[in-house]
A and B are shown apart, each in its own frame.
Chain A
Amino acid sequence: MKLDYAQLLESNNLLQINGDETYWLCVTRTVQESKLFPVPAYMLMSYLNAFYRYPALLRKIEDNMSAEEVGDRARHMGAKVNAIAMWGLPCFYLLGREWMINMGLLRPQDAAEDVAYILDFWKRFELSFRRNSGHKTAFEGGHRGQIHSEAQLQVFHADLYDCEVGDSLHQAAQAFVASASQYAFLIACESRISLHNHGPYNLGDDRQMIVRDFNDIAEYDFPWLDDVAEGVPYNNLTVTMATQGVNFNIMDDWGSFESDPEFKDENIVGVGLYTSGPLSDGFLPVGMDSREELTQTFLDLNTRVKDAMSRLWQKMAGWSRDQMLDAGALTYYAIFKDMAHIAGCYDPEDWIKIDQRAERFRPLLNDEYSRDALGEICVGTGPSHQINDYMMMMHNDAPTRIYSPIPYSILVDGDYAPTVGGVEPGITYLDEKKDAYRTTEGTLSIDEYNARVRKFQPELYKAENRLFCETTVKYRYETPEADALYKLYQKHSRNLADKGAGLRRDDVEALRQKNNKG
C-alpha cells in the first residue's frame, strides 16, 4: 500500500476514531473478568494473533471479494459481520500493536503498511455496510445502528406478531432471548461477540423496533460446539422485536443498548424470527407461518439452546487453562471470520489456530499481568498513550490517546518495517475442528461450503439491485426496477409478498394489523 501524506492523515484519523470509541466502550463497562475464563489473558493473546495475522487474512479475503462488496452482503444477513465485529477488526489489531509498543517490541512506525491497509479495509467495509445511515460507526451516528433499507425494514415490520406480557408468544420469545443471550456469552467464552443488536427503527406511535442477532450457536466454526450443539438447527438467528414506551438512546458499536426508561419485558409488543448466512439471499423466516407456530418454535429452540448450554458449560468447566485461553483468544481474534465465509475462502487453519509468533507470549499471560496490561492499553494509562501536557482527550480531558499514530516522519526518512508478512503455522490446545458446518443449506464440509459460496450469485447483489439505493428509491419508486427490488425482499414475507415498492410505513402497519386480526 502506498504511504503518502494524505494516506497517513486518513489512517491516523481512522485510528483516532476507533480509539476514542474503544475508550468510551471500555470505561462504561469496565474490563471484564470471570471466575471461569482467564478473560484478560485470552484477550491479550487474541490481540497478538490479530497483529500477526489480520493483514494477510484481509488481503486473502480481498483476493476473492472487495471489502465494500463484503459490506453490502453483510447487511443482508444477521451473521458475525456486524457492528461489533467491525469495531473489533481495527481495535484488536491496534491494541496488539499498542501492547507491543509498550513491551519495547515495536515502534509506532513499524508495520505501517499493515496499519494503513487494515484501517482502509475497515473504512471501506463500514461505509458500505452502513451506507443507509451514511456513517462509519455507531458512534458517528449518535450511537445508533440503523443498517437496513426501507425494503428490508418493511418486511421485518409487516411480519411482526403482536404480543403482550402474559401471553404465550411473549413468554416464549422472552424466555428464548434470555436463554440464547446466556448461551451466546458462554459460546463466546464470556465475550459478547455472539450476540448483537442494531436499530432502533421507528415504527411510529411510540414504538421502536430493534433487531437482535444470535451468531455461531450451532456446529460451525468453533470446535467446542462440535457434538455439543448438534441439536441447534440454525447457526444464526435474528429476532425482530417491536417495543413500546421506550426510546433506545444508545445502540453502540458493541451492539448493546440503553433506553429511556430502561427496557423491560413488558415493553415488548411484537416479535419475529429469521435465519440467514452466506448462502441465503437475505433473511429467511423461521416458524413465521402462524402465531402458534412461532410460539412453538421459540419454545423448541429454548429447550435446545438450554440443553446445549448445560452440556457446553460442563465441557468448559473441565478444560485446562490453556484450552480456556485458546478458546477465548480464538473467539476474539476470529470476530469477523464470517467475512472469509462470505468471500468463500474460509480455512480453519487461518482462524482457529494461534500463530506461532503470538504463541511465544503465553508464559506472560498470568491473570494479574493480563488484567493490568489490558487495562492500560484499553483506557490509555500506559507509557505509549501519553502525549503532550496541553492536550485533552475526548471523554476524559487527560493528555492521552488510545493508539499511537503512524509518525509522518517516515515519509522523510523511510525508517520503518512495512509488514508482518504472511500467516505462519499455528497451534491450539483445543480439539481439532470437525469438518461439519451448519449452513442454511444444511450441514456441509468446509470445502463444499466454500465451493457453494463462490458459486452463489445472490439476486440482491446484482448491480441493478445492489446500486438501487435509498436515494434512487425516493425518486424512482414507481418504476418496474424499484418494484422488482422490493419484491425480492418480500419473497418470503407473510404479509408483504408481491406488494412492491409503493408502500409507506403506515401502509405496512395497516396491512400488518389487518392480517394479524384476520
Chain B
Amino acid sequence: MTKLFVDTDKYGDESPSAVVAAFHGSLHEIVRQRFEESGADWKDFVLGDANTLITKEDFEAVDSDLVDAGHRYDWSAGISQKERPDAYKPAEGTSDADLAAFCFQHPDAPIAEPDAEGRELRGVGDNVVRYNENTTGIARYIRSTDRVLKWLTEGVPENTIAVIDDSGGTLTAPILEQFKGVICAGGTVRSHLGILTREYGIPCLMNAKVNGIMEGDTVSIESTARAKTADDYQGQTKREVTGNIWRTAKRDD
C-alpha cells in the first residue's frame, strides 16, 4: 500500500476529536488512492494533479459515509440544522413551545439552596465589567433568529436578562442594547458579546455554567464581581474569578 508522509509521524497521535479522526482517516485513504493512480512523484502530484484528481465528490463521500453510519453532527448555526435536519442533532430550545421545558444544564454549575436573602445559586460566569450593583431581571433564552426577529418587530420585553449560548455579537445584533443583562454560556470576557456589552454598558457574565434556570425565572447576576482578565484565563494569577448567578423567584406556571 502507498504510504503517505502522515503514516510515519514519530510524535503525532490520532486527532483527539472522533469526527476529525474519522474524516481524516477517510481523506488519507482517498489521497493514497489518487496518488497511486496518478503515477507521479509526490512533489509533482501534490500541487498539480491532486487539484483535479481529488474532487468535490470525494469530499461529499467522506461526509455521507459518516452520516450514513448513523452519526449526527453537533450544530452551532441554526441554519445548518435547518437545512440538513437529518444530518444534525435535533434543535432544542429554539421555539417558544420548546422553551416551556428547556433549560441549560451544565454539569459543573454550582448549585445551592436559597440563602438568607432567598437567593438560590444556579451557576457562575466570568464578569466582563465590574459595576456598583448586582443586576436583577427576567431570564429569557435567545437561541434562534425567529425570536430575534420577533423582538426586533415587537421590542424586547422589559427587564430582560438574556440567556444565550452564543458568544458572538451577530445573533442579537439588532436588539442587544435593549437587554438589562446578559448570561452567556460560552466564550470569554474578550469574546465579541463581551466586547459589545461593555460598549453598551450592559452587565454580562460570559462562559457561564448554569443549571436549571427556566424561561421566565427572576434571576440576579453578580455584576459587582471582579472582572476576569487574560492573565486569569492563562492561570497566571492562580485565582478563581467568577460572578454568581442566583434565581430569586421561579416563574409563574
Chain A interfacial positions (CB closer than 8 Å to B): 27-30, 32-41, 101-107, 110-111, 174, 177-179, 181-183, 185-186, 189-190, 192, 250, 256, 258, 261-265, 309-310, 313-314, 316-317, 319-321, 324, 357, 359-364, 366-369, 371-373, 375-376, 381-389, 395, 399, 415-417, 419-421
Q: How far apart are the CA atoms of A36 and B144 in the complex, in Å?
A: 8
If A30-B186, A105-B46, A105-B54 touch, whether A37 touches B77 (CB-CB below 8 Å) is: yes
Please, how many angstroms separate the alpha-carbon atoms of A6 and B169 in the complex?
A: 44
- Chain B nearest CB, measured from A298 CB (Å): 14
Q: List 6 A-B contacts (CB under 8 A).
A: A30-B186, A36-B171, A38-B77, A367-B88, A369-B20, A373-B20
- With CB as the reference atom, state the residue of chain B lying closest to A143: B230
CB of A382 within 8 A of CB of B12, answer: yes
Across-interface contacts of B191 in A (CB, < 8 A): 29-30, 32
A residues in contact with B239, CB < 8 Å: none
CB-CB nearest 3 A-B residue pairs: A383-B12, A372-B17, A34-B168
Please tell me which one of the listed residues A190, A373, A384 contacts residue B17 in the complex, with CB atoms under 8 A apart. A373
A210 to B196, CA, bound (A): 17
Contact call A111/B83, Cβ cutoff below 8 A: no
Q: Knowing A32-B167, A178-B199, A366-B73 are in contact, say whether A102-B173 is a contact too (CB < 8 A).
A: no
Chain B contact residues, CB within 8 Å of chain A: 4-6, 9-17, 19-20, 23-24, 27-28, 31-32, 42-44, 46-48, 50-51, 54-56, 58-60, 62-63, 73-80, 83-84, 87-88, 128-130, 143-145, 148-149, 152, 165-171, 173-174, 176-177, 186-188, 190-192, 195-196, 198-201, 207, 227, 229-230, 233-234
What's the nearest-Cβ distance from chain B to residue A333, in Å?
18
Contacts of B60 in A (CB 8 A): 363
Contact between A376 and B76, CB atoms less than 8 A apart = no
B residues within 8 A CB of A368? 19, 73-75
A105, A111, A179 — most chain B CB neighbours (10 Å): A105
Whole-angstrom distance between the alpha carbons of A372 and B186 in the complex? 16
Q: Tell which of B46, B84, B149, B227 has the most Cβ of chain A within 10 Å.
A: B46
| A104–B46 touching, CB < 8 Å | no
Q: How far is the CB of B6 from chain A (nearest CB, A)?
A: 5
B59 touching A362 by the CB < 8 A rule?
Answer: yes
Whole-angstrom distance between the alpha carbons of A136 and B146 in the complex?
Answer: 45
Chain A residues near B5 (CB-CB < 8 A): 104, 107
Contact among B6, B169, B233 for A182, CB-based, below 8 A: B169
Once the chains bind, are A321 and B79 in contact (CB under 8 Å)?
yes
> Is A320 touching B23 in the complex (CB atoms < 8 A)?
no
CB closest residue in chain B, given A179: B177
Partner of B145, one of A35, A106, A258: A35
Query: Are B149 and A185 neighbours in the complex by a CB distance under 8 Å?
Result: no
Q: How many A-B pairs fall under 8 Å by CB?
A: 260
A28-B188 in contact given A178-B177, A321-B79, A383-B15 (Cβ < 8 Å)? yes
CB proximity of B243 to chain A, nearest CB, Å: 13
Structural contact, A381 and B16, CB atoms closer than 8 A? yes
Q: Please indicate the chain A residues that have their CB under 8 angstroms from the CB of B42 in the complex.
A: 107, 417
Docked-complex contact A107 and B46, CB < 8 angstroms: yes
Distance to closest chain B CB from A458 (angstroms): 33
Q: Tell me whether A310 and B199 are in contact (CB under 8 A).
A: no
Contact of B192 among A192, A367, A371 (CB under 8 A): A192
Nearest residue, chain B, Cβ from A391? B11
- Which residue in A104, A110, A183, A369 is a CB contact (below 8 Å) of B28? A104
**Which of B15, B31, B227 contacts A262, CB < 8 Å?**
B227
Residue of A nearest to B59 (CB): A363
* A317 and B170 alpha carbons, distance in the complex (Å): 10
Which residues of A are found within 8 Å of B83, using beta-carbon distances? Answer: 320-321
Min CB gap B124→A, angstroms: 17
Nearest CB on B from A495, distance (A): 28
Closest A residue, CB atoms, query B32: A104
**A383 near B6 (CB under 8 angstroms)?**
yes
Q: Are A103 and B166 in contact (CB under 8 A)?
A: no
Contact B13 A386 (CB under 8 A): yes
The chain B residue sitting closest to A25, CB to CB, is B190
Q: Does A313 contact B174, Cβ atoms closer than 8 Å?
A: yes
Q: Is A39 a contact of B77 with CB atoms below 8 Å?
A: yes
A367-B76, A371-B76, A388-B11 in contact; A30/B230 too (CB < 8 A)? no
Q: A105-B31, A185-B192, A387-B11 known; 6 other A-B pairs, CB under 8 Å?
A: A34-B77, A39-B77, A185-B169, A190-B169, A190-B170, A364-B59
Q: How far is the CA of A107 from the CA of B51 in the complex (A)?
A: 15
Interchain CB contact under 8 A, B79 and A319? yes
Q: Are A360 and B59 in contact (CB under 8 A)?
A: yes
Interface contact B234-A177, CB-CB below 8 Å: no
* A258, B6: Cβ atoms closer than 8 Å: no
In the complex, are the beta carbons of B73 and A367 less than 8 A apart? yes
| Alpha-carbon separation in the docked complex, A264 to B44 (Å) | 57
Contact of B54 among A310, A316, A360, A375 (CB under 8 A): A360
Residues of B within 8 A of A383 (CB): 6, 9, 12-15
- Contact yes or no, A34 B171, CB < 8 A: yes
Contact status B4-A104, CB under 8 Å: yes
A38–B15 CB distance below 8 A? no
Task: List the A residue with the shortest CB-CB distance to B6.
Answer: A104
In the assembled complex, how far is the CB of residue B92 from the closest CB belonging to chain A, in whole angstroms? 13
| Cβ distance A116 to chain B, nearest Cβ, rounded Å | 15
User: Do residues A376 and B16 form an inter-chain contact, with CB atoms below 8 A?
Assistant: yes
How many Å from the CB of A187 to the closest CB on chain B? 10
CB distance from B86 to the nearest CB of A (A): 12
State whether A366 touches B80 (Cβ < 8 A). Answer: yes
Q: How far is the CA of A380 from the CA of B97 in the complex (A)?
A: 41
In chain B, what residue has the closest Cβ to A410?
A: B43
Residues of B within 8 A of A177 (CB): 199
Contact of A181 with B59 at beta-carbon distance under 8 Å, contacts A28-B234, A190-B170, A373-B17 already known: no
With a CB–CB cut-off of 8 A, which chain B residues contact A313?
148, 152, 170, 173-174
Q: Contact check, B234 vs A102: say whether CB atoms are below 8 A apart.
A: no
- Closest A residue to B78 by CB, please name it: A35
Contact status A366-B9, CB under 8 Å: no
CA distance A497 to B174 in the complex (A): 41
Closest to B191 in A: A29
User: Taking the nearest CB of chain B, how far is it from the CB of A183, in angstroms?
Assistant: 8
Q: Min CB distance, B132 to chain A, in Å?
A: 11
A417 and B168 form a contact (CB under 8 A): no
Complex Cα gap A319–B129 (Å): 34
